[in-house]
Chain A
Amino acid sequence: MTETASPSLPPRPRMRSRPLRRLPTLALAAAAAGAVLPAAAQELSWSTYGTLAYARSDRDFHYLRSIDRSGSASRDTVLGLQGDLRLSPQWAATAQLKLEPSSKADARWALKPAWAFLAWRPDDDWMLRAGRLRLPIYLHSEAMDVGQSHDMARLPAELYTVVPVPDYEGGNVSRGWVLDGGGTERELTVEAFGGRARSTARFWLRDGLPPQLPAGAVFWPVRVQLGGLAVTLRQPDLLLRSSLTRTALHRTDGQGMAVDYPYVALAPGLGYYQVSDALPGPGVVSRARIHNTLFSIGAEWSLGQGWRVTGEFVRDVQHDTVFGADATAGYLALFRQLDRLTPYVSVARRSSRQAGFDWHQRLLANPLPASVPGAATINAAQRVAAETHWLTDQASVALGAAYALTPAVKLKAEWLHTRIGQLSQLVDTPPGAQTPGRTCVNVWSVNLNYAF
């Protein structure tokens, strides 16, 4: 879901993994449905997909969690298995398991369900799905894990990390219309979706606040309630999608979400921002829930002669607070298919609200002198608060190519040049270093993608 507003120094969360526990429930429901339908109509089919990837950069700091100078296979590697049980022409159940780097810990892998849902199509036009589903926000939302289904070595991080964990548990109702215009068949689909999601917000603390918060990556579980509408138009040479989603996010440990830090003056020109109720001061202003409104629009247009252009834009408006995920992001990519080879070039940009950067600066710019009792703790707490604001200001250009070894296997390679502006939450600050800003990172990626 959309990343959270800055929590105020929470305790380390308990790590829970509920989605897998719900799989038996869905399997039971599918089995029950199957039991009442003619056995001859049932059909189980399996498919598998995967990306075997390697990426390295020219910098020592981690970019996108794991890419650095020493190289990493874990950023883009994913293995998936999908089972489709057709119970009748109208009823079907789908479950997809994937193995990928854990969203709850660095250097760990997790097997988790991407999807697990029951689908009912009462007729050609309507489809109702319930279970664990993918949010239909981006052009490649549903198949973003299936690298074989698109040509980019990595979908632009500037846009595709605005909603970093796009699965939810709930329902999706879609209605389709076939529009016949001038001999071109167009298919218009409107989807209404709603439910809730458990997500994990990852933050990188350069110094932390030992012993309560160690330095390094921290993972705070959050819960999101969401609802929205998506409209998709498909025709042979054009794919258009737009969506509007409303979310309400709260922490699962019962603590509020900080929306303002009061200034505590100690002397003229000397003071600090109270970022935690554990620090002296009038109290952190917080809310139980933070709301976001997310608008997206994207198009993929085939221009003929093998040329294709893709562009997406997303605006994530964070209400209630200036701390957090408010972001504007987009990219434009141009592809040219030459038989099996598809080279491409893309540009991408993402920026957060300036008020967020101002707060970040405010919290780090004026540390208390060491002579003030408790200064070290207060300064560290202010840095932690600043680092838990989800702020990103960066732009990228990528040159790459996909080569179809077979219809089911693609080999891709890409050079990505990213310019970090004020700062980027997609970069981890090394211990003792300044927060990377006004700098660049080059990333070389190669991956093998398949889907059978």
Chain B
Amino acid sequence: MHHGFPCPCPAAAAPRRWRRARRLATGLALALLWPALTAGAGEPVPVLIASPGVPRLDTATVARLYTGRAIEIAGQPVTVANAAPGSALRQRFLAVYLKQDEDAYRAYWTVRRHVGKGAPPRELASSAELIDWVQHHPGAIGYVDATELRPGLNVVARP
């Protein structure tokens, strides 16, 4: 019988306790599994884009370009650009393509610059700025998050 008030009888209280227990168990399970369920979700996916004419690149070539050991692709001079220091996109790019973290990458360029082997790649503050730079400079190469890709961009490498 439904009368709008909590029923004091034991027979009516049992299902509510079961519902509360189920909700508690579900919450606990979600709390425990949440890190696993969300791993990778929301993490940037760096995709390399380049000006028209630059061919596809393998990971080793990308690493050589971003460490200053290569300056050309198939005889064409190229210039690379990085995302802003400390950004999640840049950290992910360094981890995926160079197998380095920000500290190791900065340390590498500190030495390379001061042994007279060149300066580190230019750094652009936003993906919009990078896309604009890539589209207007022959031989330009950079990277953006996969969610920011737009039609017409020359994608040259994906993780």
Among A21-29, A83-91, A223-231, A325-333, the one that faces the other chain is A83-91
Q: Is B95 an interface residue (CB 8 A)?
A: no
Closest to A407 in B: B103
CA distance A123 to B77 in the complex (A): 8
CA distance A176 to B118 in the complex (A): 15
Q: How far is the CB of A100 from chain B (nearest CB, A)?
A: 15
Are the CB atoms of B116 and A129 closer together than 8 Å?
Answer: yes
Are the CB atoms of A94 and B139 closer together than 8 Å?
Answer: no
Q: How far is the CB of A82 from chain B (nearest CB, A)?
A: 7
* Chain A 169-189 interface 0/1 with B at a Cβ cutoff of 8 Å (1 = within): 000000010100000010100
CA distance A149 to B114 in the complex (A): 9
Knowing A43-B122, A84-B118 touch, does A124 contact B69 (C-beta < 8 A)? yes
Residue numbers in A under 8 Å from B117 (CB-CB):
127
Are the CB atoms of B71 and A89 closer together than 8 Å?
Answer: yes
Partner of A133, one of B111, B113, B116, B139: B116
Residue numbers in B under 8 Å from A185 (CB-CB):
60
Residue numbers in A under 8 Å from B114 (CB-CB):
47, 49, 82, 96, 142-143, 145-146, 149, 451
Q: Is B91 an interface residue (CB 8 A)?
A: no
* Chain A 334-350 interface 0/1 with B at a Cβ cutoff of 8 Å (1 = within): 00000000000000000
Partner of A40, one of B77, B111, B137: B137
Q: Is A408 an interface residue (CB 8 A)?
A: yes
Residue numbers in A under 8 Å from B71 (CB-CB):
89-90, 121, 123-124
CA distance A264 to B70 in the complex (A): 66
Residue numbers in A under 8 Å from B9 (CB-CB):
none
CA distance A47 to B110 in the complex (A): 9
Q: Is B36 an interface residue (CB 8 A)?
A: no
CA distance A115 to B78 in the complex (A): 26
Partner of B111, one of A41, A134, A143: A143
Are the CB atoms of A41 and B79 closer together than 8 Å?
Answer: yes
Q: Is B106 an interface residue (CB 8 A)?
A: yes
Residue numbers in A under 8 Å from B110 (CB-CB):
47, 146, 148-149, 408, 451
Total count of chain B residues near the partner, CB < 8 A: 28
Are the CB atoms of B116 and A94 closer together than 8 Å?
Answer: yes
CA distance A117 to B110 in the complex (A): 18
Are the CB atoms of B72 and A123 closer together than 8 Å?
Answer: yes
Closest to A452 in B: B110
* Chain A 30-59 interface 0/1 with B at a Cβ cutoff of 8 Å (1 = within): 000000000011010101010000000000
Residue numbers in B under 8 Å from A86 (CB-CB):
118-119
Partner of B113, one of A82, A119, A127, A129: A82
CA distance A129 to B117 in the complex (A): 10
Residue numbers in A under 8 Å from B113 (CB-CB):
47, 82, 84
For chain B, residues 117 to 157, give those with C-beta under 8 angstroms from any C-beta of chain A: 117-120, 122, 136-137, 139
Contact residues of A with B, CB < 8 Å? 40-41, 43, 45, 47, 49, 82, 84, 86, 88-90, 92, 94, 96, 115, 117, 119, 121, 123-124, 127, 129, 133-134, 142-143, 145-146, 148-149, 176, 178, 185, 187, 407-408, 451
Sample (30) of A-B pairs whose CB atoms are under 8 Å apart: A40-B136, A47-B110, A47-B114, A49-B114, A82-B113, A86-B118, A86-B119, A89-B71, A89-B78, A90-B77, A92-B118, A92-B119, A96-B114, A117-B116, A119-B116, A124-B64, A124-B69, A124-B72, A129-B116, A145-B114, A146-B110, A146-B114, A148-B110, A149-B114, A176-B69, A178-B64, A178-B69, A187-B69, A407-B106, A408-B106
Which 10 pairs of residues, A with B, have the shortest CB-CB distance? A142-B115, A84-B119, A89-B77, A407-B103, A146-B114, A89-B71, A124-B70, A143-B114, A149-B111, A451-B110
